[in-house]
Amino acid sequence: MKKALLIVYSNHTKDNRIRKHKHFLKNAGYKVDIIGFEKQPKSPSFLRKIIYILMLIINKEKAIEYLYGFLKYDINKNYDLIIANDWNTLPIAFKFKDKNNILVYDSHEYAIKLATENLKWRILICPLTKYIERKYILSADLVTTVSSQIAREYEKLYNISEVIVLRNIPLESDRGDISIKTSKTKPIKLYHHGHYLKLRKLDKIIEIVKSNKKFELYLRLIGEIKNLKNKYRKYKNIIFHEPLQPEELVEDIKNYDLGIALQPPYNKNRVYSLPNKFFDFIFGGVPVVVCNNTKSMAEFVKKYDIGFIARDFSYESIKTIFKKITIEEINQKKNNLLKAQKELSAGKEWEKLIKKIKEFEDKKKK
């Protein structure tokens, strides 16, 4: 049996993209090993941060471990296929690379634009990201990412002939039957899930909704949300629920009316990203609210007419789009979702990668 290795600096048991890699590689006949964490790694201590800064001068690749954590692996193992997930895994991945195996770099998102709004990131992490990508990316056999816009950026930046797009569509086992529930009465149930980060400005959306009896906002958030919950605890239409496992989300979303994927375009990565939650909403059968500045999501919504698009992320634009939303329009767009659900498939996405890997295997045999 062929052997594949996935490498990631995250809790791989809750990483949706890793789950898809593992699922489709197993279906393609690979035995899959994973180098990663089995619980969320702790943030680096002050001492580790100081060592990281020093290591940027002494040994750039070693610096990665002090920032992201220390992964355990056996360098003596041999693999037919290696997938490096995110830029920071490239140095480890290339320790396993030889002339007979295939190495895939899955950038996930736009690595060198990931947090350009953050001055510390621009000074301390971005130069390392650029160094690592520039050193390794052209030696990878294949490069993949999450959207066509990011793929084009990579092709231009590194003069790569083709970057494969693997959109974050849920596994068939996670999404259940293709179906749509008709929305019937007010209040309109809004849904948002994922990591809570202040720079995503979820608070702005809550402020708009909190005193509007037309809506209820249901939140399943990961992260430090104690202060947020305390701030809005008196508002009965702002409801906090516990976060769910990735495979439980789509089925849960089916009980609501509208998905909130609004986020400010605070960097180029956000402008071009197609996050997991966006496709969770589509397969949960709820139209999506986005802003026009997040181009990849806005273009997708326009193509299928499956949501509502705010002019931008300003308070007034978001308030205006919420004012226009009606139950009748939601149900109309829910019917449009059926077409999108039937056309989209995680299997079709990963089939592109498996096909390319097979082509490389055949070349190496000759």
Domains recognised in the chain with CATH numbers: 2-169+346-365 (3.40.50.2000), 172-343 (3.40.50.2000)
Cα 279 to the center of its chain, rounded Å = 10
Residue 186 near residue 214, CB atoms below 8 Å? yes
Residue written as tokens 């295997």?
A: 361
Q: How many CB atoms lie within 10 A of CB 28?
A: 18
Q: How far apart are CA 141 and CA 211, in angstroms?
A: 54
Q: 120: left (phi > 0), else alpha (psi -120 to 50), else beta?
A: alpha
DSSP 8-state assignment for residue 93: H
What's residue 179's pLDDT? 62
**Running DSSP on this structure, what letter comes out for residue 214?**
T
Q: Which of 236, 208, 205, 238 is nearest to 220 (CA)?
A: 238
Mean pLDDT in order along the chain per 10 residues (366 residues): 96 91 96 93 91 96 96 94 98 95 96 94 96 97 96 97 95 72 82 90 94 93 92 94 91 94 92 93 95 95 96 94 93 92 92 94 77
3-state SS assignment for residue 41: coil
What was the pLDDT predicted at 345? Answer: 92
Cross-strand bridge partners of residue 6: 34, 83
- Residue 176: the pLDDT is 66
Position 366 scores a pLDDT of: 65
pLDDT confidence of residue 246: 86
Within the chain, residue ranges assigned H as helices are 16-27, 46-58, 60-68, 90-95, 119-124, 126-136, 148-158, 172-175, 202-209, 226-231, 249-253, 268-272, 276-283, 295-304, 315-324, 327-343, 346-365
For residue 281, give every residue at least 6 positions away whose Cβ sits within 8 Å of its Cβ, in sequence order, or none: 191, 253, 259, 261, 287, 288
**What's the pLDDT score for residue 178?**
61
Tell me what pLDDT residue 199 has.
83
Predicted pLDDT of residue 39: 85
Helix 295-304, helix 148-158: angle, nearest 10: 140
Residues in the chain: 366
Mind listing the pLDDT tens digit for each residue in 114-166? 999 999 999 999 999 999 999 999 999 999 999 999 999 999 999 999 999 99
Pick from 201, 230, 150, 221: nearest CA to 318: 201
Beta carbons within 10 angstroms of residue 200's beta carbon:
17
pTM score above 0.85: yes
| Residue whose pair of structure tokens reads 């052209």 in the numeric block | 138
Q: Sheet containing 30-37: which strands, arranged edge to edge? A: 30-37, 2-11, 81-85, 102-106, 142-145, 164-165
Could you report how far apart the first and last alpha carbons of the chain are, in Å? Answer: 20
